[in-house]
Amino acid sequence: MRIKTIELFFDKPKEDFYIKNITDDVSKAIKESKMKEGIVNIFVSGSTASVSTMEFEPNLVKDIEKAMEKIAPSDIEYEHHKTWGDENGKSHVRATILGPSLTVPFKDGKLLLGTWQQIVLLDFDVPKRERKVVVQIIGE
Ligand code: ZN
């Protein structure tokens, strides 16, 4: 069994909610590891973003954004704002509920995702920024 850890960096080109399909980046990391079978853990470093899966299509992106507005609305006060004044209480709440990581099995060098299932980075922070994603491949 081998372990390979790599870091990927993604730009968040807009303010507030942003979803990026990172499936190809994870597939490429598995290919480059030359491992054929195992699991890959995808972990976003930071407390205002999450990693999950979805059918990555524009209307579902809008639906998820709407759902997040219901779970942690933009227009309410958060206690967290008293701590740092960084105005991203909603971002933390959303990220904590979804969680920072995802594990996906792979076989024959390919992710065992469903046909309409992609790996996504959900960035809930308010400002534009860069995001570090750690990809750890465990297998042989
Ligand atoms: Zn904060």
The pLDDT tens digits of the residues spanning 92-133 come to 999 999 999 999 999 999 999 999 999 999 999 999 999 999
SS3 64: helix
SS3 94: helix
Rounded to whole angstroms, the Cα distance separating 136 from 1 reads 13
Beta carbons of 49 and 95 less than 8 angstroms apart: yes
- What's the 44 CA to ligand 1 centre distance in angstroms? 16
Written as six digits, the tokens of 106 are: 């792979």
- What's the 95 CA to ligand 1 centre distance in angstroms? 11
Question: Which residues, at least 6 apart from 33, have a Cβ–Cβ distance to it below 8 Å?
Answer: 2, 4, 137, 139
- What's the 119 CA to ligand 1 centre distance in angstroms? 25
pTM here is 0.96
- What's the 113 CA to ligand 1 centre distance in angstroms? 33
Q: Tell me which residues have their CB within 5 A of the ion that is ligand 1.
A: 86, 88
* Longest CA span, the chain: 50
Residue range 35-47: average pLDDT?
98
Task: Output the CA–CA distances (angstroms, integers) from residue 97 to 8, 72, 132, in the order listed.
Answer: 23, 10, 19
The pLDDT tens digits of the residues spanning 78-90 come to 999 999 999 999 9
- State residue 21's pLDDT score: 98
